[in-house]
Amino acid sequence: MSKKSKSVPYFISLFFGTLVIVILLVIKYKQADNSTLFTLNEIKTEDSICGIDISRYQPHINWEKVAPQIDFVFIRATSGRNYVDNLFDVHYMNAKNHDLPIGAYHYFVFNVNGKDQAVNFLNKVNDYEFDLPLVIDVEEHPKYGKPSFDYQTTINNLREFITKVEKETKTEVLIYTNTKGYERYIKRNFPNHSLWISSFKSKETHPSQWVFWQKTHTGKIDGITDYVDINVFNGDEKTWNNYLEKRKK
């Protein structure tokens, strides 16, 4: 075999490897471009009660710096039927040790049985105390592909998840979703549920039942090197304190 023919597979591999990297960078750029880059201090000029949501993608957090700046934290616990976030325990204990109000969320997989997902979530969070609601994160993700977005299957699984978690915990599940997810899956099917809405538009455009607003995916806060999601509460300090007190009852 000639040297030229031997080099062909190498250049093919190099080409497709480069193509994949370019595609991933474009996707990342577009995602970042949709989200306004805010510092926490900038957000606090308009919204007094602010917090973050975190997962294994934030492995390095200087809690001594971060905790005094925020009012709450949501932590990813699980996803799908079996996945458990390997940093949930660490993040929870750090937040707890710094007296931060904590909530936990489950990343919902559209085409996986809702009861099975609820069991996975409950198995992880049942041994913990929370000041904030348990959350189901409802957003389409390209990882699972369009075939997983069958509408009725999605709604059935959502209902099964929410019904089981609410029955077991005796509290309302907070629904996290973005504007697209709200219009497609939540608005008609779960009109009375409280919302944690992800949107890069003004709060005047939000559904009336929003409680938390994920204002940016590209937030910057002293104590976390990379970008982090920054969220705000729908109310002032007095409303916030009342909200926390009601959740204790």
Looking at residue 244, what is its pLDDT?
Answer: 98
pLDDT in tens, 42-91: 999 999 999 999 999 999 999 999 999 999 999 999 999 999 999 999 99
In 3D, which of 190, 60, 175, 195 has the Cα closest to residue 106? 175
Report the predicted TM-score, pTM, of the whole model to 2 decimal places: 0.85
Encoding tokens for residue 185?
Answer: 């899956």
**How far is it, in rounded angstroms, from Cα 137 to Cα 152?**
18
Q: Residue 25 above 50 pLDDT?
A: no
Question: What does the alpha-carbon distance between residue 20 and residue 169 come to, in Å, rounded to a whole number?
Answer: 44
| Span 4-18, average pLDDT | 58
Give the residue among 202, 171, 206, 201 at the shortest CA–CA distance from 186: 206
Res 149: pLDDT: 77
pLDDT at residue 240 tops 80: yes
- Does residue 33 surpass a pLDDT of 60? no
Q: Which amino acid is at 22?
A: V
Confidence of residue 147 (pLDDT cuts 50, 70, 90): low
**Maximum Cα–Cα distance for the chain, whole Å?**
78
Q: What percent of the chain has pLDDT over 70?
A: 85
d(CA 80, CA 110): 9
pLDDT range class, residue 140, cuts 50, 70, 90: confident
Measured distance CA(184)–CA(210) in Å, rounded: 17
DSSP per residue, 87-109: THHHHHHHHHHTT--EEEEEE--
In the predicted structure, residue 193 carries a pLDDT above the cut 80: yes
Q: What is the mean pLDDT of residues 17-41?
A: 61
> Is the Cβ–Cβ distance between 103 and 72 less than 8 Å?
yes
